[in-house]
C-alpha cells in the first residue's frame, strides 16, 4: 500500500532533550516536506527536500533540522526542543519536485514539549 | 509574497444543504491550487486540484471548486452536504521554489 509513515505518532518530552521524528514513504517520491499545524494558523512548511542531499527552508525552519540521505526517508530533528514547538507535525511527499504535484500526507505526530 | 486566505473559521450547515467554502489567494503567476480535507485525528486527504484548463474542477466525495482569476478565488462547493463531511478544510497554493502555502482552515459542522 502506498503510504507515508511517521513515527512516533505521539511524543511527550522535556525542554532541551533532542528528538527525532522519522518519516518514510514507499512511493519513490523525490519531493518530501515537513509541516507543523497549530490552531488558527493552519499548516506551515518547515523544511522541504527536492531530492537526496537537497534540502531547503520553508516558512518556519528555526529550531529544526532535517536530512535526506536516502530517497525514502526524511527525518525531522529537534536538537533542543522548546515548549513553542509543541504542535502537530505532518510529513508529506510528492512524485517529482514541483509546486503542481499532489502531496500525500502522513498521519501526523503530536508533540508536547514540557 | 504568496498567501492563502480562508475567511471563514467555522461554518455550520444542515445535512442536505448546499455548501460553499471560500478561499482567496495572493500569487503573482498562474497558481496551482488545492483543497484538502482533514477529519478529526486524521491526516490530510486531497479533495481536488487545479493546475490549468477548465476552471471548474471536480473532486472526490462530490466536491467541486471553481477557479476565478479575476477574483483570485478558488471556492469549494458541494450541492448536498452529508454528516460525514464534517471536518476541517484547507485551501493551499503551490509556489515558486517548491514551497506550499496553506490557509488557516475552515471547520465544518453538519447538523441533522
What pLDDT does residue A1 have? Answer: 81
The pLDDT tens digits of the residues spanning B10-54 come to 999 999 999 999 999 987 677 889 999 999 878 899 999 998 888
Q: How far apart are CA B64 and CA B78, in angstroms?
A: 6
Q: Do B90 and A42 touch (CB under 8 A)?
A: yes
Pairing of strands A10-13, A109-113: parallel
What pLDDT does residue A102 have? Answer: 81
Instruction: Report helix, strand or coil for B83.
Output: helix
In terms of Cα–Cα distance, which of B95, B107, B16, B112 is closest to B62?
B16
Spell A59-93 as b/e; 16+ CB within 10 A means b.
bbbeebebbbeeebebbbebeebeeebbbebbbbb
Distance of CA A47 to the CA centre of its chain: 7
Beta strands, E only, chain B = 3-5, 10-14, 19-21, 24-26, 32-38, 44-50, 56-58, 64-68, 73-78, 87-95, 99-102, 106-111
- The sign of the dihedral angle between the CA atoms of B77, A106, A32, B100 is positive
Q: Residue with C-alpha cell 522548546?
A: A82
Q: How far apart are CA A46 and CA A64, in angstroms?
A: 8
Q: Which of B49, B94, B105 lies nearest to residue A42, judging by beta carbons?
A: B105
Q: How far apart are CA A43 and CA A91, in angstroms?
A: 11
What letter would DSSP give residue A108?
Answer: -
What pLDDT does residue B95 have? Answer: 75
What pLDDT does residue B94 have? Answer: 84
Q: Which of B9, B98, B104 lies nearest to residue A99, judging by beta carbons?
A: B98
From residue B71, alpha-carbon distances to A89, B23, B75, B78, B96 in Å are 32, 10, 10, 20, 21
What pLDDT does residue A99 have? Answer: 64
Q: Is the predicted pLDDT of residue B97 greater than 80, yes or no?
A: no
Mean pLDDT by 10 residues, chain A (114 residues): 92 96 95 93 93 93 97 97 97 79 90 97
What pLDDT does residue B96 have? Answer: 67
What pLDDT does residue B110 have? Answer: 97
> Which stretches of chain B sit within 8 Å of chain A by CB?
6, 9, 32, 34, 36, 42-46, 49, 51, 90, 92, 94-105
Per the rule left: phi > 0, alpha: psi between -120 and 50, beta: everything else, B72 is left
Residue B9 CB partners (closer than 8 Å, separation 6+): A40, B104, B105, B106, B107
What pLDDT does residue B77 have? Answer: 98
Under the banding of pLDDT at 50, 70 and 90, the label for residue B99 is: confident
What pLDDT does residue A44 have? Answer: 94
What pLDDT does residue B81 have? Answer: 97
What pLDDT does residue A40 have? Answer: 87
Under the banding of pLDDT at 50, 70 and 90, the label for residue B73 is: very high
What pLDDT does residue A32 have? Answer: 94
What letter would DSSP give residue A103?
Answer: P
Q: Do A99 and B44 touch (CB under 8 A)?
A: no
Amino acid at each position: 500500500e502506498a503510504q507515508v509513515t511517521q513515527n512516533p505518532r505521539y511524543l511527550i518530552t522535556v525542554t532541551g532533550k533532542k528528538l527525532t521524528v522519522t518519516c518514510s514513504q514507499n512511493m519513490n517520491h523525490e519531493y518530501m516536506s515537513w509541516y507543523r499545524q497549530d490552531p488558527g494558523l493552519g499548516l506551515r512548511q518547515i523544511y522541504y527536500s527536492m531530492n537526496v542531499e537537497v534540502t531547503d527552508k520553508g516558512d518556519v525552519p528555526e529550531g529544526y533540522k532535517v536530512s535526506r540521505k536516502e530517497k525514502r526517508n526524511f527525518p525531522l530533528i529537534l536538537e533542543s526542543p522548546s515548549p513553542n514547538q509543541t504542535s502537530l507535525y505532518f510529513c508529506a511527499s510528492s512524485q517529482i519536485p514541483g509546486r503542481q504535484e499532489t502531496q500525500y500526507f502522513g498521519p501526523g505526530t503530536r508533540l508536547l514539549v514540557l | 509574497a504568496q498567501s492563502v486566505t480562508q475567511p471563514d473559521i467555522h461554518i455550520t450547515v444542515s445535512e442536505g444543504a448546499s455548501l460553499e467554502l471560500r478561499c482567496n489567494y495572493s500569487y503573482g503567476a498562474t497558481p496551482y491550487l488545492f483543497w484538502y480535507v482533514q477529519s478529526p485525528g486524521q491526516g490530510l486527504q486531497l479533495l481536488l486540484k487545479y493546475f490549468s484548463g477548465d476552471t471548474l474542477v471536480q473532486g472526490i466525495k462530490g466536491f467541486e471548486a471553481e477557479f476565478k482569476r479575476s477574483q483570485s478565488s478558488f471556492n469549494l462547493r458541494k450541492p448536498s452536504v452529508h454528516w460525514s463531511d464534517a471536518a476541517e478544510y484547507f485551501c493551499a497554493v503551490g509556489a515558486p521554489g517548491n514551497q506550499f502555502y496553506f490557509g488557516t482552515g475552515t471547520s465544518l459542522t453538519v447538523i441533522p
